[in-house]
Amino acid sequence: MRHPSGTTHLWAILGDPVAHVRAPFFFNPKFEALGLDAFLVALHAPKAELVPILQGLRRIPNLKGLIVTIPHKEAMLALVDELGPQAQLCGALNTVRIEPGGRLVGEMFDGLGLVAAMRAHALEPKGARHLLVGAGGAARAIAFALAAAGAAEVAVWNRTAAR
């Protein structure tokens, strides 16, 4: 395995907790197989420390982006400089691109990714009835993506009615 250097394009996944996160075990071998000088690391970002952590991360020149997970998908909306259309629509984000100079651009791919995965496994969402269990940021992204894909119905079940 190649070791990261000062020129390696770094990516981080932020969450609280992150001990369970498996993304680096998936992405890092892919980066290596593709010959990319890139490395993904999971960073524990406690909710109360998210703002100062993000302020520091945006100043690291070879940090190219973030994957955002629980509980930060909604809080990050107010902390980025620009939101993509999916993040605006569902009120949450799961990725942040860090542009030169530290500008942060957030977007949400949970819903689009689920619809693409369904179709890759011959499960067409168009015309089907769907049940979502939960109403957090990822669930909202999935609901909008299913609706855009032509779902006949998207029902949502959540512990609390407010969501």
> Active-site positions?
73
d(C-alpha 66, C-alpha 40), whole Å: 9
3-state DSSP call for residue 78? helix
Q: Do the Cβ atoms of 93 and 87 come closer than 8 Å?
A: yes
135 with 163: CB under 8 angstroms? yes
When computed from its CA atoms, the radius of gyration of the chain, rounded to whole angstroms, is 17
